[in-house]
Structure 1
Amino acid sequence: LEAMLAGRAVVATRAGGTPEVVDHGKTGLLVPPDDPESLAAAVCELLRDGPRRDAMGRAGHDRVCAQFSEDVTVAKTEALYAEILSAPRLA
């Protein structure tokens, strides 16, 4: 998230929650876990293609601002608490 907020294209593994944050081909590149060759190839690909790298960096910045800003995070947290508090209680 920090790299995306700084406007940098991301190269990351397709593991854990990363695919929920990095949109492959739009905000960065995702590679299989435990595949250093794919990781190196993705890094080299972005190093060679400055315009694509810059576009991914801008898209990543926009995505982080839209989905993970303080206002959005607070609103999502409040909605979650409201949902929990309104759920029927088990006896």
Structure 2
Amino acid sequence: MISPCAFSIKDPDKPAVEELLIVNQSGTLAIEPGARVKVTGIVHRGFNVADVKQETGVELDEAPHREWKGESYIVASTSTAKSNTCVTSCRDTRS
């Protein structure tokens, strides 16, 4: 986890695919590091802490999120731990 409202995901079976930042719109997360997750949300481009706060109301500290600036990210409406699967369900806004 990066902060109480953000974490990153990576497919362990696809090491060439970069991590993706997830901002949990519903607030604090209860997901353990290394857990497989199901994420439902909207994909955005150009991560910026101030823009995320304005669009979602989620308060993020600048310092731990600095490395994600400008990267694609998901604003998740739901994020839940799964037992054996790693799934994302998203609407892409990068058109």
TM bucket (normalised to shorter chain) is under 0.3
When Rg is computed on C-alpha atoms for both structures, the one with the higher figure is 1
TM-score normalised per structure 1:
0.23
User: Of Structure 1 and Structure 2, which has the larger fraction of its residues in strand?
Assistant: 2
User: Of Structure 1 and Structure 2, which has the larger fraction of its residues in helix?
Assistant: 1
TM-score normalised per structure 2:
0.23
Q: Which has the higher contact order (CA 8 A, sep 6+)?
A: 2
